[in-house]
Amino acid sequence: MEAYIVQGYRTAVGKAPRGVFRFKRPDELAAETIEHLLKNLPEFDKTRIDDVIVGNAMPEA
């Protein structure tokens, strides 16, 4: 099996704990980010996605 990085995106940054994302769950933010990525790659075959790896740069937030 081979892995490819096709494109990368990140969510916007907000202030914790009273920032704009305080009512958003992490999975909702991830879904919006992935939807945005796929919208910008119309030629990409979505059925070829087997796995998605998500990272967290600031776990204390």
| CA separation for the pair 51, 1 (Å, rounded) | 12
Mean pLDDT of 41-61: 79
Q: Name the token pair of 40.
A: 């910008």
Q: How high is the pLDDT of residue 21?
A: 84
Q: How high is the pLDDT of residue 59?
A: 67
- The pLDDT tens digits of the residues spanning 4-36 come to 777 888 887 777 778 888 888 888 988 888 889
Q: How high is the pLDDT of residue 44?
A: 86
DSSP letter for each residue of the chain:
----------PPP--TTTSTTTT--HHHHHHHHHHHHHHT-TTS-GGG--------S-TT-
Q: Tokens 């980010």 — which residue?
A: 33
Q: How high is the pLDDT of residue 54?
A: 77
Statement: residue 58 has pLDDT above 80:
no
How many other CB atoms sit within 10 Å of the CB of residue 30? 13
